[in-house]
Amino acid sequence: MNTAILENGVKTRKFDSKNGLFGEYGGMYVPPVLEGKLKNLAAFFEQTKHQPDFEEEYVHYLKTFVGRPSPLYYAHNLSEKVGSKIYLKREDLNHTGSHKINNCIGQILLAKRMGATEIVAETGAGQHGVATATAAALFGIKCKVFMGATDAERQKMNVSRMKLLGAELVLTHEGRATLKDAVDAALGYYIENPDVYYLLGSQVGPHPYPTMVGYFQSVIGKEAKKQILEVEGRLPDHIFACIGGGSNAIGLFSEFLYDDDVAIHAAEGGGEGAIFGKTAATLSMGKPGVFQGTFSYALSNESGDVYPTYSIAAGLDYPGVSPQHALLKDVGRADYHLVTDAEAIEAYKLLSRLEGIIPAIESSHAIALAAKMMKGKKNEISVINLSGRGDKDVERDLM
C-alpha cells in the first residue's frame, strides 16, 4: 500500500494538500483585499481543527443534530438487477437531506470562534443553501445566500426552506443564472464586505476552502470504511460518487485514496453529451486554468474564457472542479466519466422503484455510472455515495 512518498527526504501523503496545493493545483488567486483574510482563515483552521474542544463540539453536533453516522445500506434489489453487490452510503438521511451539512457545521463552528456576525454562501441545487441557513439558525448568525435565478426556479422547495429558516436569498440573473453565477455573486459580496464569513460549500475556490471542505467531508469516507469492514470483512472493490465541484466525492474518496486495490470512479454532469455549452463534464472535457480563485480544470477555450454549462442537476452545473480531483485525474488515482441527463433520469427512476429510495438527481449520476460499470460483476463489492435525497426534484418533469 503506497501511503507516502519521499519529498526532499520527508515523508508526505502524495494526494493531500501541502500549503494549499494539490500537486500543481490549488492556490490562492484573489484580489489583495481578500488575500490577508484568507491567509488568516487558513492559519486559524490549521491551529483549531485538532483542538480537543473543537473536535468534541463538531462530533457532538454531527451526532445529535445531523444524525451521524449515516447508514451503509445493502441495496439488495439494485444488486440483483445489476448482478453485483452494491451498498449505498446514505448521506440523504442526514438532517437537511444531503452531505452538505457536514461541512456547514464545521465551518460555522470556525466562524463562531472567529467572531463572525454574518455568513454568506452560494448554492446551486439549494442543498448547501439550506444547510448553511440551518446552521446559521442554530447558532443565531445572520445569513445571506446567493442563488442563480434559473436554479431557484428548478429548486423551488429549497428556496422556500431557506426563507423559512430565516436566510436572505439573493437571486442573480447574470450569465445562465446557475451555480457559477451564484459563486461570482457571493465572491463579489465577500470582496465588498470582507468582514463577513464566506461559507463555501464545495471543494473549490481559493485556499483554504478545498482543504477545509475536504477535511469536514472526510467523515463520510471514515464511516464508510469502518462500516464496510464490519459487514463484509474487507474493503470494497469500487467506490462511486457524483461530482460537480467535488465535495461529496472527496468525502467518500479521501479515506480510500491510499488503498490501492479500491478503484475510484466519479460521475460528472454530462448534460446532453460531449458538446461544449451543453455539458458540465469538467474533468472529461476541460483543461487546467485559473478559475474563481484556484488553479484547476475548467471548461474553457484557448483564450481562457469559460464555456456556458448545462446539466439537469443544478448541483453539478458548474464549469470548474476541485483542485484535489484535478490531481487525482492527472495521476490516474480516480477516473471521471461523463453521465448524460438521460442516463441520470433512468437511474433516478430505477432506484426509486427498486429500493423505495428517491435519490437527488445529482446522486443519480453516480447510480447510473455504477449500474453500467458493475453489470454482471457478481463477485465484486461497490459503495455508492448517495449524497442527497430527491424530494427537491420530485416536482420537476423527470418522468
CATH number for the domain spanning 180: value is 3.40.50.1100
Separation of alpha carbons 344 and 337, rounded Å? 12
Same domain for 315 and 278: yes
Q: Please report the DSSP string for 150-202 in residue order.
A: HHHHHTHHHHHHHHHTTPEEEEE-STTSSHHHHHHHHHHHHHH-TTSEE---S
Set of cell numbers at residue 202: 464545495
Of the residues 79, 98, 122, 223, which is catalytic? 122
Sign (positive or negative) of CA dihedral 206, 223, 366, 331: positive
> For residues 269 and 279, is the Cβ–Cβ distance under 8 A?
yes
Reported as a single tens digit per residue, the pLDDT across 250-304 is 999 999 999 999 999 999 999 999 999 999 999 999 999 999 999 999 999 988 8
Sign of the Cα torsion 114, 119, 120, 125 reads positive
How many other CB atoms are there within 10 angstroms of residue 253's CB atom? 31
pLDDT band at 13 (very low <50, low <70, confident <90, very high): low
Tell me, what's the pLDDT at 395? Answer: 85
Run of H or E residues at 76: helix 76-82
- Cell triple for 328: 487525482
How far apart CA 86 and CA 74 sit, in angstroms, is 6
Confidence class for position 5, pLDDT limits 50, 70, 90: very low
Residues 90 and 108 in one domain: no
CB of 15 closer than 8 Å to CB of 250: no
Torsion of CA 125, 270, 264, 234, to 10 degrees: 70
Residue 277 and residue 203 share a domain: no
112 in the same domain as 176: yes
Domains in the chain, number: 2
Q: CA-CA distance, 254 to 31, in Å (whole number)?
A: 30
Whether residue 232 has pLDDT greater than 70: yes
> 241: Cβ–Cβ under 8 A, 6 or more apart, which residues?
248, 249, 251, 252, 253, 265, 266, 267, 366, 384, 385, 387
Q: How far apart are CA 218 and CA 212, in angstroms?
A: 10
Which one from 284, 300, 322, 387 is the annotated catalytic residue? 387
- Residue whose grid cell is 474487507: 234
| Domain enclosing residue 154, as ranges | 27-62+100-213
Q: Clarify whether 343 is annotated catalytic.
A: no
41/149 same-domain check: yes
399 pLDDT above the threshold of 70: no
Which is nearest to 263 in space by CA: 232, 239, 235?
A: 239
Report yes or no on 112 lying in a domain: yes
Q: What is the pLDDT of residue 398?
A: 80
Same domain, 344 and 255: yes
Residues 6+ apart with CB under 8 A from 35: 28
In a domain, 2, yes or no: no
Residue 175 located in a structural domain:
yes
Check pLDDT > 60 for residue 237. yes
Same domain, 207 and 190: yes
The Cα–Cα gap between 276 and 291 comes to: 17
Q: What percent of the chain has pLDDT over 90?
A: 92
Q: Which helix (H) or strand (E) holds 385?
A: strand 381-386
Same domain, 258 and 377: yes
Residues 336, 259 share a domain: yes
In the chain, % of residues over pLDDT 70: 96
pLDDT digits over 113-169, tens only? Answer: 999 999 999 999 999 999 999 999 999 999 999 999 999 999 999 999 999 999 999
The answer to whether residue 20 sits within a structural domain is: no
Q: Which of 179, 198, 213 is the last residue of a domain?
A: 213
| 122 belongs to the catalytic site | yes
394: cell is 420530485
Cβ atoms of 248 and 91 closer than 8 Å = yes
Confidence of residue 396 (pLDDT cuts 50, 70, 90): confident
Which member of 14, 89, 100, 144 is catalytic?
A: 100
Predicted confidence (pLDDT) per residue in 184-216, tens digit: 999 999 999 988 999 999 999 999 999 999 999
Q: Which of 193, 213, 233 is a domain's end point?
A: 213
> Domain ends where: 213, 242, 260?
213
Report the C-alpha gap between 281 and 339 in whole angstroms: 8
- Taking only the tens place, the pLDDT of each residue in 18-74 is 899 999 999 999 999 999 999 999 999 999 999 999 999 999 999 999 999 999 999
Catalytic, 387? Answer: yes
Q: From residue 53, give the alpha-carbon distance in Å to each of 2, 50, 97.
A: 33, 9, 27
